[in-house]
A and B are shown apart, each in its own frame.
Chain A
Amino acid sequence: DSGVTQTPKHLITATGQRVTLRCSPRSGDLSVYWYQQSLDQGLQFLIQYYNGEERAKGNILERFSAQQFPDLHSELNLSSLELGDSALYFCASSVIQGGYTFGSGTRLTVV
């Protein structure tokens, strides 16, 4: 167990729907990062939050959004889902200047 908890582990939904992925970082970690892993794009950085504030954006679609709450857990919201959004979504957390710890991911399948 890495200490980073992601729920749900698996999610199957239809095109056009909206889903929310949840991440609880390791105790003490203020930074949360979201990554998407797909066969054709590899591991791609989506967005970073630090202590509740957005710090950096990567290749995140406008249909996707995220937030980090006062208790430091984070949610990634994916809307108007398309078949191509099917992927593994990973959350990672870190202390500032430290290495990342990844969660086990949420496997999203859009049908």
Chain B
Amino acid sequence: QQQVKQSPQSLIVQKGGISIINCAYENTAFDYFPWYQQFPGKGPALLIAIRPDVSEKKEGRFTISFNKSAKQFSLHIMDSQPGDSATYFCAGSGSARQLTFGSGTQLTVLP
């Protein structure tokens, strides 16, 4: 199973700052790239997703930037809040719809 590489492993940001998490994928057959947010004791929850025909997608404070030629995509969280403290996973999937996840980023937003 081809990998999705995610960085950084952990991230500490001040309240109001910008959080940036990066992912790189190998499988060019991937056509759907979601980001999931997971709180302790909960299942991953879909945050935002993008398809490769679009270079950017914004939903509220969350933005995905997508670079198809570099096979990279990133999540930007604007005006980060303590409530955003969670683990974030990027993923990719193809026609089979099974997700290949990155290793996760533990985000801590300091008050």
Measured between beta carbons, the chain A residues less than 8 angstroms from B52 are none
Measured between beta carbons, the chain A residues less than 8 angstroms from B111 are none
In the complex, the chain A residue whose C-beta lies closest to that of B104 is A42
Q: Are A94 and B97 in contact (CB under 8 A)?
A: yes
Whole-angstrom distance between the alpha carbons of A102 and B98 in the complex? 13
Q: Are B1 and A59 in contact (CB under 8 A)?
A: yes
Chain A, 57-73, contact with B by CB distance < 8 Å: what is the 0/1 string? 01100000000000000
Partner of B43, one of A59, A96, A99, A103: A103
Q: Answer whether residue A43 sits at the interface, using C-beta atoms and an 8 A cutoff.
A: yes
Measured between beta carbons, the chain B residues less than 8 angstroms from A94 are 97
Q: Answer whether residue B17 sits at the interface, using C-beta atoms and an 8 A cutoff.
A: no
Q: Answer whether residue B42 sits at the interface, using C-beta atoms and an 8 A cutoff.
A: yes
Whole-angstrom distance between the alpha carbons of A58 and B34 in the complex? 19
Q: Are B42 and A104 in contact (CB under 8 A)?
A: yes
Q: Are B43 and A2 in contact (CB under 8 A)?
A: yes
Whole-angstrom distance between the alpha carbons of A100 and B43 in the complex? 11
Q: Are B43 and A105 in contact (CB under 8 A)?
A: yes
Partner of A43, one of B44, B46, B96: B44
Other 12 A-B pairs with CB < 8 A, given A100-B46, A102-B44: A33-B98, A43-B99, A43-B104, A44-B101, A45-B1, A45-B99, A48-B97, A56-B98, A99-B46, A102-B36, A104-B42, A104-B43
A-B contact list, 21 entries, CB within 8 Å: A2-B45, A31-B97, A33-B97, A33-B99, A42-B103, A42-B104, A43-B89, A43-B99, A43-B101, A44-B101, A48-B98, A56-B96, A90-B44, A99-B34, A99-B46, A100-B99, A101-B46, A102-B36, A102-B43, A104-B42, A105-B43
